[in-house]
Amino acid sequence: MAHTYISNHIHLVFSTKHREKSLTPEIRERLWKFLAGIARKNNFEPIIIGGYDDHCHALVSLPSSITIAKAAQLLKGGSSKWISDTFPEMKNFYWQNGYGAFSVSVSHIDRTVAYIKNQEEHHKRQTFENEYIGFLEVHHIAFDKKTIFSEDDTSNPDLDTNMG
């Protein structure tokens, strides 16, 4: 074949450092747009970006040239710096080191978009921690309940969110 065609839709989920509830509605409104801009600038498609006061959901379509780790690094690193620079009261803002990345079939894109759009209502009933564990379980991803939200693991350089 002369051309490469792929369908690579990824639902990224990541939270603020220590899951601090620091993303006010005013910050979120600007942040989601900024994250979409980072995606477009780096040649991947932001389908929808949203979240709540302590975390972000980004449904993106990645080309074959961008790994999931690189997309997460670009989104988290660029937005962390932007938040720190734009909001003086948040000069020490960071995302958690890790993230969740879940493949989404074309047949589930509409449902995932609706889920991300409904985050504020959703989190009146469920914590981020329970939501995240639910994603891991439904995708059959092994994890250690004792350390899943630990911030001590800095051994993976792909997860360094302090890279601007």
pLDDT of res. 152: 52
Cβ-based neighbours of 109, under 8 Å, separated by 6 or more: 9, 47, 59
Percent of the chain clearing pLDDT 90 (strictly above) = 83
pLDDT tens-place string over residues 35-46: 999 999 999 999
CATH superfamily, region 9-159: Transposase IS200-like (3.30.70.1290)
Least confident of 9-13, 31-35, 142-146: 142-146
- SS3 label, residue 94: coil
> Can you tell me the mean pLDDT for 35-61?
97
For the chain, domain boundaries: 9-159
Beta strands in the chain (DSSP E): 9-15, 45-52, 55-61, 100-103
Please give the pLDDT value at position 149.
85
Would the pLDDT of 161 be above 90?
Answer: no
Residue-wise pLDDT for 101-152, tens only, equals 999 999 999 999 999 999 999 899 999 999 999 999 999 999 998 888 887 5
Has residue 29 got a pLDDT over 70? yes
pTM of the entire structure?
0.87
Neighbours of 86 (CB within 10 A): 15
Quick check: 154 pLDDT over 60? no
